[in-house]
Amino acid sequence: MCRLATCGVSLLIVPLLAACGGGREALTIYSGRDEALVGPLLERFAEEKDVDIDVRYGDSAELALLIEEEGEASPADVYFSQSPGAVEYLAAADRLAPLEQAILDKVPEDFRGSGEDWVGVTARERVIVYNEELVAPEDLPDSVLDLPETGFADQVGLAPANGSFQDFVTAMRQTEGEDVAREWLEGMASAGAPTFPDNNSIVDAVSRGEIPMGLVNHYYNFRFLEDDPSLPSRNGSFAPGDIGNLLIASPIAILRSTDQESDAQALISFLLNDESMAFFAEETFEYPLVEGVEPSSQLEPLDQLPSPQFNIQDLGGGLQGTVEMIEQSGLL
> Is 6's pLDDT higher than 70?
no
Confidence of residue 106 (pLDDT cuts 50, 70, 90): very high
Name the pairing type of β-strands 27-31 and 78-80: parallel
Residues 230-248: tens digit of each pLDDT? 999 999 999 999 999 999 9
> Is 284 exposed, middle or buried, given 0-12, 13-18 or 19+ CB atoms closer than 10 A?
buried
Q: Which residues pair with 307 in a beta bridge?
A: none
- The pLDDT value given to residue 11: 46
Residue 211, phi then psi, degrees to nearest 5: -135, 155
Q: Alpha-carbon distance 196 to 64, whole Å? A: 21
Q: Counting Cβ atoms within 10 Å, is residue 69 exposed (0-12), middle (13-18) or buried (19+)?
A: exposed
- In sequence order, what are the beta bridge partners of 254? 78
Helices and strands, counts by H and E, the chain: 11, 10
Q: Using CA atoms, how far apart are residues 121 and 114, in angstroms rounded to an integer?
A: 16
Q: At what angle do helices 84-92 and 60-70 cross, to 10 degrees?
A: 20
Residues 6 or more apart in contact with residue 70 via CB below 8 angstroms: 76
Quick one: pLDDT at residue 24? 62
pLDDT digits (tens, 9 = 90+) for 34-54: 898 999 999 999 999 999 999
For the entire predicted model, the pTM comes to: 0.85
- Write down all domains in the chain, each with its CATH number in brackets: 2-123+248-300 (3.40.190.10), 124-246+317-329 (3.40.190.10)
Amino acid residing at 49: K
Residue 90 has pLDDT above 80, yes or no: yes
3-state SS, residue 118: strand
- pLDDT (tens digit per residue) in 191-206: 999 999 999 999 999 9
